[in-house]
A = this chain, B = another copy of it.
Amino acid sequence: MITSTVENYVKQIYLQQQENPADLLPMGKLATAMNVVPGTATAMVKALADSGLVDYEPRGGIRLTHGGEQLALHVLRRHRILESFLVEILGLDWSEVHEEAETLEHAVSDKVLERMDHLMNRPQYDPHGDPIPTAKGQISHIRLMPLSDMAPGTSAQVARVADQDAAFLRFAEKNGLLPGVKFSLISSDSQADAVTIRLRNKQTITLGGKAAEKILVRKKTG
């Protein structure tokens, strides 16, 4: 049965797998990501394998089957459309919608989701800049550069803020670091592990390496 637990596992496996698409995902990684003890992950993975959602190599790791990936993308679509809806239609803050969507993604029907999607004019990206899979299960795989890798003097725009932590998102918002915002890199000091950028409104912001890695940018086309 596809319970919300199964949906959460499959979605998390997909997300973790993205970080290392070539390798099998080790059980330990999954257990940590799911916040369960390793034995729980093993038990669950066996059930997922029985349902044909993952391929499981004992002591090797796991990988989603095609069916598993489709399910993951379907859940991800629900999650991201819901986040967009909560921000655009209901006016919630982008720092709080991830939590809300985490529950709603298991409760909303395809029909309701379709209405939400339609009402928002079918957005391609969620409020954090994450691509929204299509109803058919396609997702855009545009390679983005972390702000921390930019060369000094270059310009770019924020494409994605890759952290669901509410405090970080509030920090980013307060400093105008939202998807679509343009800026140029003023300085980058690898010894100091810090970069300084200037936004269009002349405001300058300095970020440490950890934070700069979470801001994914798109090079200014030209």
Contacts and interface: CB of A to CB of B under 8 A. Distances in A.
Interface of A: 86, 89-92, 96, 100, 103-104, 106-109, 111-112, 115-116, 119
Contact of A115 (B91, B104, B115, B119): B91
Contact of A86 (B89, B96, B107, B112): B112
A90 B106 contact: no
Contacts of A90: 112, 115-116, 119
B112 A100 contact: yes
B104 A92 contact: no
Contacts of A106: 107
Contacts of A111: 92, 96, 100
A113 to B, nearest CB: 10
Contacts of A100: 109, 111-112
A70 B27 CA distance: 43
A98 to B, nearest CB: 13
24 contacts: A86-B112, A89-B89, A89-B119, A90-B112, A90-B115, A90-B116, A90-B119, A91-B115, A92-B111, A92-B112, A92-B115, A96-B111, A100-B109, A100-B111, A100-B112, A103-B107, A103-B109, A104-B104, A104-B107, A104-B108, A104-B112, A106-B107, A107-B107, A107-B108
What 10 pairs across the A-B complex have the smallest Cβ distances?
A107-B107, A90-B115, A103-B107, A104-B107, A100-B109, A100-B112, A91-B115, A90-B112, A86-B112, A90-B116
A91 B90 CA distance: 16
Contacts of A112: 86, 90, 92, 100, 104
A92 B109 CA distance: 12
A103 B100 CA distance: 15
Contacts of A116: 90
Nearest to A116: B90
A104 B96 CA distance: 18
A8 B103 CA distance: 17
A52 to B, nearest CB: 25
Contacts of A89: 89, 119
